[in-house]
Amino acid sequence: MDLHLDPQQRAFRAEVRQFFKDNLPDRVRQKVIKGGYPEYQDMVDWTRVMHAKGWATPQWPKAHGGTGWSPVELAIFDDESQAAGAPQMLPFGVNMLGPVLYTFGSPEQQQKFLPRIARLDDWWCQGFSEPGAGSDLASLKTTARREGDEFIVNGQKTWTTMAQYANWIFCLVRTDPDSLKPGGKRQEGISFILIDMKTKGITVRPIQTIDGGVEVNEVFFDDVHVPAENLVGQLNKGWDYAKFLLGNERNGIARVGATKEKLRRIRALAQTSQIGAAPMSENHRFMERLTEAEIDLKALEITQWRVLARSAARHGKPDPASSILKIKGSQLQQTATDLAVALAGPYAAVGKSDQSGDNLGPIGPEWAATSAPVYFNYRKVSIYGGSNEIQRNIIAKAILGF
């Protein structure tokens, strides 16, 4: 046993770290570490940089443009890129759809879409959830009816992240209406389909989240004609592909690197931030909370390595232990955002100013202004990607055997 990275892994980490240091524009880095979503163009530009380096789709098979890195190397890479404040590759294409396509898609689909995902030529969004189908995804109602060599899609998706930027959406649709009838097997009437967002009959409505931003949308489908060749894999087998996809979604969900960056920044800011009679670094209660989070994160990092170390033996089968990473990882992300609010104290309340301009500085410390919105926004991390309750259900069933 050895809890350290071996020399090769350390060298790999140093290489990755140096690359981010040399290539990530500070402007973009600042935006990411303040917790905002990078803008469209920033995402595209950064993806192109990563693509040129061959790192845009590291987890894909080499034949499709991946790196051939081991799971441990992939995790090192994720942690380093998060800790550097780099925008993460758009997950909908790279982590979700890509693996589905190279595993279940037709050769034509693979050729057409995979290179465009890798360069962010196409911005994909994920059309799974519906108003009535959240945790219970298999109850989804959006229909796709076969007519000649087309599917006609009707229904509604919701919570669709960044659909406003997307030119493509991958959807789960009901292709066997009988599967929803009593006694029907709901999971067996679902298909996985690719839809061009510019098709007639699609309407996107933004939903403002409690941090004031717009990152999710409703997407409405009204008699949308989709070429039959856009069906992925077999008809009515979409649930299997979705399960495969959700298993991949949970990879990297611990976000150890991102939380590390947040906690480091908080510790540094605590030295100078003063809201009471002394700097926050002299408030032992605050420092104990920060230290507790650091302890938890240290443990999570090793837990993540332990889960990864056995993943090779599972031959790509999703590991229910990744639900442990999701639960703890999301809680720690939330704790970090909460600590930032505590650090900002009353200045966390500052919102949009009536007058702004170059001569007027920020109200309170500049970093404080985003602390509350980020805290609000991060409530999402225990809701999406399978809520923490659903993760507990998975663990209870798959690990504990209840």
Partner 1 sequence: MDFDLNEDQRLLKDTLVRFFKDHYSFEQRKQAMAMSGGWSADIWRQLAELGFTGLLAPEAAGGFNGGHVEAMVAMEAVGEALLVEPLFASALMCGFLLRQCPASAKISDLESAMVSGTARLALAHMEGEAPLNGAHVTTSARHEGGRVLLNGDKTLVLHGDSATHIIVSARHAGTPGAHHGIGLYLVEGDAAGLRRRGFATQDGQRAAELNFNQTPAHVLDAEGYATLAKTIDFGIACICVEAVGAMSALHAMTVDYLKIRKQFGLPIGAFQVLQHRAVDMLVALEQARSLALVAMFAMDDKDAARRHRTVAAAKVQIARSGKFVGEEAIQLHGGIGMTMEYAAGHYFKRLKMIDVQWGDGDHHLVALAEGPSLLEDEAMG
Ligand X SMILES: Cc1cc2nc3c(=O)[nH]c(=O)nc-3n(C[C@H](O)[C@H](O)[C@H](O)COP(=O)(O)OP(=O)(O)OC[C@H]3O[C@@H](n4cnc5c(N)ncnc54)[C@H](O)[C@@H]3O)c2cc1C
Q: What is the largest CA-CA distance in the chain?
A: 75
H/E stretch holding 147 reads strand 143-147
Which distant-in-sequence residues (6+ apart) come within 8 Å of 197 by Cβ? 125, 163, 166, 167, 168, 169, 204
**Residues at the site binding partner 1, with contacts judged by CB under 8 A:** 129, 132-136, 139, 158-159, 207-210, 212, 216, 274-277, 283-286, 289, 334, 338, 341-342, 344-355, 360, 363-364, 372-373, 375-376, 379-380, 382-384, 387-389, 392
Q: Is residue 384 involved in binding ligand X (CB under 6 A)?
A: yes
Q: In angstroms, give the least distance from the CB of 279 to ligand X.
A: 35
Nearest residue (CB) to ligand X, 90 versus 344: 90
Site for ligand X, residues 216 to 275, rule: CB under 6 A = 216
Inter-residue contact 144 to 151 (CB < 8 Å): yes
Nearest residue (CB) to ligand X, 153 versus 368: 153
β-pair type (168-174, 124-127): parallel
Among 81, 109, 161, 259, binds ligand X (CB under 6 A): 161
Q: Where on the phi/psi map is residue 144: left (φ > 0), alpha (ψ -120 to 50), or beta?
A: beta
Which residues are catalytically annotated? 249
Q: Is residue 129 involved in binding ligand X (CB under 6 A)?
A: yes
Inter-residue contact 137 to 145 (CB < 8 Å): no
346 binds, among partner 1, ligand X, none (CB under 5 to 8 A by kind): partner 1
Q: Is residue 390 involved in binding ligand X (CB under 6 A)?
A: yes
CA pair distance 157, 246, nearest whole angstrom: 17
DSSP conformational letter for 130? B
Q: What is the DSSP string of 51-68?
A: HHHT-SSTTS-GGGT---
23 binds, among ligand X, partner 1, none (CB under 5 to 8 A by kind): none
Q: In angstroms, give the least distance from the CB of 78 to partner 1.
A: 25
> Residues interacting with ligand X, by CB under 6 A?
125-126, 128-129, 134-135, 159-161, 216, 380, 383-384, 387, 389-390, 393
